[in-house]
Amino acid sequence: MDKFKEKFSQFMNRIHLGSIYFAMLLLVGMAIVIIINVFMRYVLNTGLRWGEEVSKLLMVWFTFIAMAVGVKQGLHISLHLLPKKLPFKLEIFFTLLKDIITLIIALVFFIYGIKLVQFTSSSIMPATEWPSSILYLILPIAAVLIASEALMDIFNIEDYPEKIEAIFNKGNK
């Protein structure tokens, strides 16, 4: 079982790292589209007809990928209402409760994300003429990423976030 946990952890770290790079790509793409569109509007008195739609799509996708990354890295806002020095069993209970709530939220994202994709699949975005469902397709994808991180915590599968941090901190030393 330990061999499976190790392989699964390595697989999830690769997915997480890919998610980070994908989020970076989405953010850069959005910035490029917006910069080009602003330049064309104010300098050339024209614009990209599809610029606003594509930048909105990239922003939505970036937001949900970043949310999934934030779950793994523990970057979301949290309230520390209880003292940090709780008894060990209470600390384990609250960690499990946090993971179960995260799993429920991921399940809601997944179920309603699928419904939203199905509902919007017959309509198209006006400028790009892409299916509107492409905008919402990220919901179930992010839900799977978020749920997998919660399940890794629940089943105590080590995810080695320091390995990922080391990749991005190489240039800072």
- Taking Cα atoms as reference points, which of 164, 148, 41, 53 lies closest to residue 103? 148
* One-letter amino acid for residue 155 of the chain: F
Rounded Cα–Cα distance for residues 12 and 161 (Å):
11
Q: Output the pLDDT for position 8.
A: 83
pLDDT at 133: 96
147 Cα distance to chain centroid: 11
Q: What is the largest CA-CA distance in the chain?
A: 65
The SS3 assignment for 124 reads strand
Q: Identify the pLDDT of residue 119.
A: 96
Q: What is the pLDDT along the chain (173 residues), one digit of tens a residue?
A: 588 878 888 888 889 889 999 999 999 999 999 999 999 999 999 989 999 999 999 999 999 999 998 888 777 766 566 666 778 888 888 888 989 999 999 999 999 999 999 999 999 999 999 999 999 999 999 999 999 988 988 888 877 667 777 777 775 65
Which residues have CB under 8 Å from 73's CB, separation 6+?
161, 164
For the chain, domain boundaries: 2-172
CA separation for the pair 21, 84 (Å, rounded): 34
The pLDDT tens digits of the residues spanning 3-22 come to: 887 888 888 888 988 999 99
Candidates 156, 171, 167; CA nearest to 13 is 167
Q: Which of 141, 137, 139, 145 is nearest to 70 (CA)?
A: 145
Is the separation of the CB atoms in 23 and 65 below 8 Å?
yes
